[in-house]
Amino acid sequence: MSVDMPAATGRYPDATGHFGRFGGRFVPEALVAALDELDGAWRTAMGDESFQTEFAALLRDYAGTPSLLYPARRLSAKIGAQVLLKREDLNHTGAHKVRNVLGQALLTKRMGKRRVIAETGAGQHGVATATAAALFDLECVVYMGEVDTQRQALNVARMRMLGATVVPVTAGSRTLKDAMNEAMRDWVANVDNTHYLIGTAAGPHPFPALVRDFVRGIGDEARQQCLDLVGALPDAVTACVGGGSNALGVFHAFVDDPSVRLYGFEAGGDGPATGRHAASITGGSSGVLHGTRTYVLQDADGQTVESHSISAGLDYPGVGPEHAWLHDTGRATYRPVTDADAMAAFELLCRTEGIIPAIESSHALAGTVAIAPELAAELGREPVVVVNLSGRGDKDVHTAGEYFGVLDKE
Amino acid sequence: MSRIGVAFDQARAEGRAVLVGCMPAGFPTVEGSIAAMTAMVEAGVDVIEVEIPYSDPVMDGPVIQRASDIALAGGVRVADTLRIVDAVAATGAPVVTMTYWNPIEQYGVDAFARDLAAAGGTGLITPDLIPDEAQEWLAASDAYGLDRTFLVSPSSTDARLQMTVEHCRGFVYATAIMGVTGARTQASAAAPVLASRVRAVTDLPVGIGLGIGTGEQAGTAAGFADGVIVGSALIRCLLDAASLPAGLTALRELSAELAAGVRSPAR
């Protein structure tokens, strides 16, 4: 297949929101006017100094960025690579997602809308959205699969404390994808006064590009920090990929640096061969889901297949279209990481660095452990790897505690 | 002219609107859905809309979601839909297929168009495919002589409405409200406005759908539209019934009420 090589900074997607054969808009006509409005607001904001100044101030004073790029020396010694952790886990609300919600909340205000809706799986994006809604005084409704509201009762409570309404979704598989369907239905009915604050770089155009632009600071910061720290670009940048916003955020600044290898690690669940995974790129096929053409977990009839992962944040049967395209062009490499390998990396970071990572981010760590010897062999020296530590593990203490058997029986 | 065009012409000549009734393929079973659609035709539904059940139907409200889930849980396949189209077309009523895009993309757009035409289907209603993304379908529908019904919405700009209508063939689907499928008690003020906006740019018949569930509402819609599209209210007849025969009886009664409605257009 012959495809154009990606280039950073605004050249992709094309004017109609396509990344090669991926992306676009597969939505009810009722939403097109709102997507056009959003597209216009986003393009204007990107070129508007006052918007950028306001956004930068929020990121600095409220979210606590730039996040640190931390040389993880004990981990590095264990795995044979110089690991630089991009500490997005230290941001307000505990993950990279705060960057996206602040950007979209600012846009919402600019469009004169008073209400935001969001979908959430584990509740992290819901909490982040509720946070931004509180800060911007917006009405906030979060759709969450009924199964997830039970599994993540603490996050439901957090959202309510922040003033959001949490709506349990009882349709379909009662998880993230169904929450997304329900949010789309709400949006179709209330598009006049409502912005759909999508939580990842997926969905119909302009969402994939817009979300990428709001989180790309991760990579912009990391690139400069790495130059400052080691005097050179990294040999590789790694991230976990569910919908893919944290990965795009850290990749984007490096896409035009051919020496920097980009690795996305998908949730391999019980293992790709078992069929119980959430690896849309490495274990799925091209299709249309939630308004975009991308890689999807589906059966022969195009029905979405349920995903499985120990990490709720990666448990989604699709992926952002830009990742599908980075995969097709070969610019980024995607591999699955099993639950077991991710949890081993979770424990490794806890014990070597005193950092409890999100289980999502543990997939990036596990993938980094796996590629370190490959890179060292190829380069003939210890590789320098920037790992996006996209979130902290507080929310995962229960899951991890059960997994490792460290919870006292009551 | 397509078979649907003929149905609209006949209705126009009779001073009434066409009644389009929607049912998911394979709900409650493949044979049950054929029986239901046949009963609808016998009770006065002019055009049958067979919806391909899909796992993520974002334009559909709870009733169609539930019916689609039941059909999918029963193992219905896209190929079964074609068999159902074939069986219902044998009644003589035009049969149009309503589908989200991914099942067609996975079947193969050209292959599906070929097989739908062979089964006697008239064309597709595509709720999540806008003309902007429809190059493959435009070509396939031309190749096999199938109708294309894209949706227009109260929120469509004039430019988009014009563009969308230009890509339609057979009839235009005007969504009466901003929202998803499902019967409503309140009449839509936006619907007549949208219908007249469509009429201003095309001679194609305008079907109005979303929120219509009673004979009276059908009569109101028939006052300003060429076609009245009913789904959830008909499907509910089967969902709420204790047995399939009881459901079919209720379905016949509602179909007849709606058929009377489109024959008494409120002017």
pLDDT band at A7 (very low <50, low <70, confident <90, very high): very low
Over residues B69-114, the pLDDT tens digits come to 999 999 999 999 999 999 999 999 999 999 999 999 999 999 999 9
Residue of A29, A300, A301 lying closest to B153 (CB–CB): A29
* Chain A residues close to B179, C-beta within 8 Å: 185, 188-189
Beta-sheet strand order (sheet of B227-230): B147-149, B123-125, B95-98, B47-51, B18-24, B227-230, B206-209, B172-175, B151-152
Q: CB-based burial of residue B13 (10 Å sphere; 0-12 exposed, 13-18 middle, 19+ buried)?
A: exposed
Tokens for B230?
A: 């009913």
Q: Is the pLDDT at A6 greater than 50, yes or no?
A: no
Q: Is the pLDDT at A392 greater than 90, yes or no?
A: yes
Q: Is the pLDDT at A104 greater than 50, yes or no?
A: yes
Q: Is the pLDDT at B23 greater than 90, yes or no?
A: yes
Residues of B with CB under 8 A from a CB of A: 54-59, 61-62, 65, 69, 72, 77-78, 101-107, 127-130, 132-133, 150-157, 160, 164, 175, 177-180
Q: Is the pLDDT at A43 greater than 80, yes or no?
A: yes
Which of A86, A97, A113, A177 is the catalytic position? A97
Instruction: Identify which of A192, A342, A331 has the alpha carbon closest to the alpha carbon of residue A269.
Output: A342
Q: What domains appear along chain A, each with residue ranges and CATH number? A: 18-59+97-211 (3.40.50.1100), 64-94+216-404 (3.40.50.1100)
Number of Cβ pairs < 8 A linking chain A and chain B: 117
pLDDT band at B257 (very low <50, low <70, confident <90, very high): very high
* Euclidean distance between the first and the last CA atom of chain B, given in angstroms as a whole number: 28
pLDDT band at A121 (very low <50, low <70, confident <90, very high): confident
- Looking at residue A9, its pLDDT comes to 42
pLDDT band at B267 (very low <50, low <70, confident <90, very high): low
Which of A245, A307, A361, A390 is the catalytic position? A390
Q: Does the annotation mark A97 as catalytic?
A: yes
Over residues B122-156, the pLDDT tens digits come to 999 999 999 999 999 999 999 999 999 999 999 99
Q: How far is A292 from chain B (nearest CA, A)?
A: 10
CA atoms within 13 A on the CB side of B30: 14
Q: CA-CA distance, B154 to B84, in Å (whole number)?
A: 33
Lowest mean pLDDT among A4-13, A164-173, B39-48, B256-265: A4-13
CB-based contact A298 B102, cutoff 8 Å: yes
CB-based contact A33 B77, cutoff 8 Å: no
Domain spans in chain B, listed from the N-terminal domain onward = 3-146+213-261
CB-based contact B154 A30, cutoff 8 Å: yes
* Euclidean distance between the first and the last CA atom of chain A, given in angstroms as a whole number: 58
Mean of the pLDDT values across residues B208-224?
A: 95
Lowest mean pLDDT among A169-183, A302-316, B235-249: A169-183
Percentage of residues in chain A having pLDDT higher than 70: 97
Q: CA-CA distance, B47 to B264, in Å (whole number)?
A: 18
Residue of B57, B107, B155 lying closest to A30 (CB–CB): B155
pLDDT band at A410 (very low <50, low <70, confident <90, very high): low
Asked if A176 is an interface residue toward chain B (Cβ–Cβ < 8 A), one would say no
CA B157 → CA A36, A116, B10, distances in Å? Answer: 11, 23, 31
Asked if A304 is an interface residue toward chain B (Cβ–Cβ < 8 A), one would say yes
- Looking at residue A1, its pLDDT comes to 34
Instruction: Identify which of B265, B263, B266, B264 has the alpha carbon closest to the alpha carbon of residue B44.
Output: B263
Task: State the fold for domain B3-146+213-261.
Answer: TIM Barrel (3.20.20)
Nearest CA in chain B to A32: B156
- Looking at residue A79, its pLDDT comes to 97
Q: Is the pLDDT at A2 greater than 50, yes or no?
A: no
CB-based contact A288 B54, cutoff 8 Å: no
Q: Is the pLDDT at A3 greater than 50, yes or no?
A: no
Over residues A290-337, the pLDDT tens digits come to 999 999 999 999 999 999 999 988 999 999 999 999 999 999 999 999
Beta-sheet strand order (sheet of A285-289): A18-19, A22-23, A292-296, A285-289
Q: Is the pLDDT at B204 greater than 70, yes or no?
A: yes
Over residues A154-164, the pLDDT tens digits come to 899 999 999 99
Percentage of residues in chain A having pLDDT higher than 90: 90
Quote the mean pLDDT of chain A: 94
Q: CA-CA distance, B64 to A209, in Å (whole number)?
A: 33
- Looking at residue B186, its pLDDT comes to 77
- Between positions 8 and 37 of A, the ones with CB within 8 A of B are 16, 24-34
Nearest CA in chain B to A289: B102
Mean of the pLDDT values across residues A348-371?
A: 98
Residue of A26, A171, A184 lying closest to B129 (CB–CB): A26
CB-based contact B102 A302, cutoff 8 Å: yes
Which of A88, A119, A266, A360 is the catalytic position? A119
